[in-house]
Amino acid sequence: MTPLIVALDFPDAQAALRMADRLDARQCRVKVGKELFTRAGPAIVESLQQRGFQVFLDLKFHDIPATVAGACRAAADLGVWMVNVHASGGRAMLEAARDAIDVKIGTPPLLIAVTVLTSLNASGLAEIGCTANPTAQVIRLAGLAADAGLDGVVCSAQEATELRQHWPTLLRVTPGIRPAGATADDQRRIVTPSAALAQGADYLVVGRPITAAADPDAAMAALIAEMGPASVR
Ligand code: C5P
């Protein structure tokens, strides 16, 4: 299985499934985010699983501990492979999420923390009362996630190297991936798949370079070729 996770950022189930039907479940996992899930509900997760895909449910839960625990239990019952929460929800919330997932019989989903949204820069953080610089805040929240027993964090490739030094076993899930020569879209800091793996990413989240390509199959094949031997894990 490769480290590739394809972000199915589509507005409805039909479009998402049309894309999924062009992908090979042996070559990637898929990510279902807030827009698709809000439109299509748990049925889209089940449809993808029936097609053989392991699903990363990217709903970034952030609420009081009991509510997040309930949401994590529901995700585990759906049989998703990975689910995430905001580390800034605090220790009690993270531990409640961990405990809720651990009661799942069989293989529980991987529980991943979002640290600082990449859309927030230093002044955006200051505006919500956080005067730490964004990188220091990422490290602080990753430490909290590790302490609470989470399996990994979402992070940029740049952050992955530092996080690997501090917490080698914490999985690093990295968006902002663009093959050499591809358009950046709205991503501000991009790296190639092979560079991201070299910098310490364990999983690569790739959306538009595959889903918006004229030929998604060819884009996927090129991406896998570019990752080289590291793509087989
Ligand atoms: O199309 P693209 O490859 O830019 O998609 C990246 C995916 O990763 C999107 O689903 C986006 O929401 C998600 N993501 C991100 N940056 C983060 C966290 C998640 O791009 N910091």
233 domain residue, yes or no: no
Residues involved in catalysis: 60
Q: How far apart are CA 84 and CA 97, in angstroms?
A: 9
Q: Which domain holds residue 27?
A: 4-227
Ligand 1 near 204 CB (within 6 A): no
Ligand 1 near 157 CB (within 6 A): no
Taking residues 115-122, report their average pLDDT. 91
pLDDT band at residue 186 using 50, 70 and 90 as cut-offs: confident
232 domain residue, yes or no: no
How many domains does the chain fold into?
1
Alpha helices of 56-213 — where are they, by DSSP H? 65-78, 91-102, 122-127, 134-147, 157-166, 193-198, 208-211
Taking residues 97-113, report their average pLDDT. 94
Query: How many angstroms separate the first and last alpha carbons of the chain?
Result: 6
The single-letter DSSP state of residue 34 is: H
pLDDT digits (tens, 9 = 90+) for 55-64: 999 999 999 9
Cβ–Cβ under 8 Å, residues 203 and 174: yes
216 domain residue, yes or no: yes
Percent of the chain with pLDDT over 90: 86
Ligand 1 near 151 CB (within 6 A): no
115 domain residue, yes or no: yes
220 domain residue, yes or no: yes
| Helices 42-50, 13-20: inter-axial angle, 10-degree rounding | 20
Taking residues 186-193, report their average pLDDT. 87
**Residue 156 alpha carbon, nearest atom of ligand 1:** 21
Q: What phi and psi values does residue 81 have, to the nearest 5 degrees?
A: -85, -35
Q: What pLDDT was estimated at residue 229? A: 66
**Residue 9 alpha carbon, nearest atom of ligand 1:** 10
Percent of the chain with pLDDT over 70: 98
Decide if pLDDT at 231 tops 90.
Answer: no
Taking residues 203-221, report their average pLDDT. 94
Instruction: Return mean pLDDT, the chain.
Output: 94
Taking residues 18-33, report their average pLDDT. 96
Residue nearest atom 20 in ligand 1 by C-alpha distance: 175
pLDDT band at residue 28 using 50, 70 and 90 as cut-offs: very high
90 domain residue, yes or no: yes
39 domain residue, yes or no: yes
Query: Of the residues 5, 9, 141, which should be mutated to test ligand 1's pocket, given the most ligand atoms within 8 Å of the CB?
Result: 9
Q: What pLDDT was estimated at residue 187? A: 83
108 domain residue, yes or no: yes
**Closest C-alpha among 48, 160, 75, 69 to residue 115:** 160
Query: Of the residues 4, 10, 155, 205, which should be mutated to test ligand 1's pocket, given the most ligand atoms within 8 Å of the CB?
Result: 205
CATH number at residue 202: 3.20.20.70
Ligand 1 near 158 CB (within 6 A): no
Ligand 1 near 179 CB (within 6 A): no
Taking residues 141-148, report their average pLDDT. 98
